[in-house]
Amino acid sequence: MQDLPRGQDISKTHGIITPIRVCSSFRRARYAFIGGHMRLKDCFNFHDFRELARRRLPSPIFNYIDGAADDETTYRRNTAAFEECDLLPNVLRGVEQVDLSVIVMGQKLQVPFYCSPTALQRLFHHQGERAVAHAVQKFGTMFGLSSLGTVSLEDLSSSFSFPQVYQFYFHKDRGLNKAMLDRAKAAGVRILMLTVDSITGGNRERDLRTGFSIPFSLTLQGMAQFVLKPKWAIEYATHEKFRLPQLEQHVAMSGGTTSIGDYFTNMLDPSMNWRDVAEMVKHWDDKFCLKGIMSPEDAKKAVDIGCAGIVVSNHGGRQLDGSRSSFDQLAEIVDTVGDKIDVLLDGGVQRGTHVLKALSVGAKAVGLGRAYLFPLAAAGQPGVERALGLMRAETERAMRLMGCRSIDQLSRSNLRFRNSPPSRTR
C-alpha cells in the first residue's frame, strides 16, 4: 500500500509507555498513560495533533499516515536534520510589522508554507479535501490536490479559486496521461506537479502488517481495530461514498479489481524518463513542477526542460528509505538552480522555526504533509485551521525574534550548522 517510524510502531504500542511520549510534555504523557479525555483545544503542536489523531482513527489508517518505508530512517531524519541547524538572531531591528508573504511559481501566498498533495483524505476525516481547502482559503496559501484525492478537481474548483496545484503520476497509458492533464486544465489548475519519486511503491511494513489497502483487505487484527473506533466507522458509513474521482473513469478500484498497490505496480510507467517529461511540460504549456528532486543533476535537468519549480522531497520518507533528508540536501540544490527556478521543500516540517530554517537556506516555500493530516484526522476543518494558525503564529513569532520583517531578510547568515555548513552564503 502506497503513500509507517520503527521504534515508534504505534500498532504494537497502544497504551504502552514509549520513549517518544516520555520525552514529550507531561500533559501528553498524562493522556498517553492515564488516557484522559483529549480535545482539539488541548493540541498545541504536531505531537498533540498526532496523539489526538491516533485516538480517533482505526490503527491501520493512523499507521498509513504515520508510517514510512523500511526502517523509517529517512522519515526520522527529515525532522532531526532541522535540529542540527541553529538560528542566529539579530536584535533591535524594529519588527512590529512582519510580512510572511512569498511568491511561488507566480502565485502570491500569504504564508510561506502550503499543504502538500496527499492521498485518501476522506478516509482520515469525512470532510477530507474540502476541510483542507476551506482552511487553506482562510490562510491564503496553496493547496495541492493529489490524483489519489477523494474529492473531484471540479468540485473544488467550483467552490474555491484552487486547487492551484494538481499532483499527478505518470501512467503507462499515454492517452490516460493526456486525458488527465486536459481535465486539470479545464478545471482551471495553474500548476501541474509531477511526482517523480514514486516509480514503484515504497516498502511500508506497517501497512503490510495491518493489511491496509484500497479497497480494504484488512487482516483480522486490522479489522478489530476498526471495531474499536465506532465513531470513525459511523462517520465513514453515514457520509458520501468513498471515491477516487480523478481515477475512477480509468481504474476499476471501486469494483475491487484493482488496489492502489496494483495501481502503482501495474499502471505507473517505470520507463518514464526526461524525454517523456519534457513532452509533458510542453503539452501542459503553463507552470510545471517536479516533486521529489534530490540531486543537483536532476535539478539542472528540470531547468533545462522548462519547469517553473521543483520540490526537494523524499515523499516524507515513504519511498526510498536511507535517502538523504530534504533539509540536508536543500543547500546543494539551491546553490545549483536557485537563481533559475523556484525551489520548494517538504519533509519533516513540524515547527515555524523549521519553516524559517528552510527559507533561510533558500527555499521559496515549505510543504506540510503529516503536519496538516493529523489535525485533519483529529478534528476536520477546525483541526486544520488550528494547525495552520499555530504554524503561522510560530513563524511570525520566530521572524520577530530573529529580527526579520520580511522573508527576503532571511539568509544563511542567520544560520549555523553544527556539522558541514552549506558553503555559499545566499
Measured from each CB, the residue nearest to ligand FMN is 369
Q: Do the beta carbons of residue 115 and residue 381 sit within 8 Å?
A: no
Q: Do the beta carbons of residue 101 and residue 407 sit within 8 Å?
A: yes
CB of 191 to ligand FMN, least distance (A): 13
Given 3-state DSSP classes, what are the helix, strand and coil percentages for the chain, each rounded to the nearest 5? 45, 10, 40
| Residue tagged active-site, from 125, 171, 315, 354 | 315
CB of 150 to ligand FMN, least distance (A): 11
Task: Output 98 or 176, the one with its CB closest to ligand FMN.
Answer: 176
Task: Output 387 or 404, the one with its CB closest to ligand FMN.
Answer: 387
Q: State the DSSP H helix or E strand holding residue 107, giving kind and residue range, or none if neither.
A: strand 107-109
Amino acid 340 reads K
Amino acid 112 reads P
Question: How far out from the chain centre does Cα 298 lie?
Answer: 21
Query: What does the alpha-carbon distance between residue 364 and residue 342 come to, in Å, rounded to a whole number?
Result: 6
Task: Output 99 or 276, the one with its CB closest to ligand FMN.
Answer: 276
Query: What does the alpha-carbon distance between residue 396 and residue 267 come to, in Å, rounded to a whole number?
Result: 44
Task: Output 328 or 404, the one with its CB closest to ligand FMN.
Answer: 328
Task: Output 128 or 404, the one with its CB closest to ligand FMN.
Answer: 128
Task: Output 292 or 404, the one with its CB closest to ligand FMN.
Answer: 292
Compute the half-sphere exposure of residue 55: CA atoms within 13 Å on the CB side of its CA. Answer: 19
Residue that the C-alpha cell 492515564 belongs to = 34
Pairing between β-strand 342-346 and β-strand 113-115 as defined by DSSP bridges: unpaired
CA nearest 363: which of 354, 376, 375?
354
CA nearest 104: which of 144, 137, 135?
144
Catalytic residue status for 315: yes
Query: What does the alpha-carbon distance between residue 357 and residue 95 come to, in Å, rounded to a whole number?
Result: 19
Q: Do the beta carbons of residue 206 and residue 225 sit within 8 Å?
A: no
CB of 34 to ligand FMN, least distance (A): 29
Rg (C-alpha) for the chain, rounded Å, is 21
Q: Do the beta carbons of residue 371 and residue 334 sit within 8 Å?
A: no
Residues that bind ligand FMN (CB under 6 A): 3, 64-65, 78, 116-119, 146, 148, 167, 195, 291, 313, 315-316, 318, 346-349, 367-371, 373
Amino acid 87 reads L
Q: Do the beta carbons of residue 331 and residue 214 sit within 8 Å?
A: no
Task: Output 197 or 385, the one with its CB closest to ligand FMN.
Answer: 197
Residue 109 DSSP one-character state? E
Task: Output 309 or 404, the one with its CB closest to ligand FMN.
Answer: 309
Strand spans (E) along 44-100: 85-87
Helix axis angle for 296-304 and 326-337, nearest 10°, is: 50
CB of 273 to ligand FMN, least distance (A): 19
Task: Please identify every residue annotated as catalytic.
Answer: 315
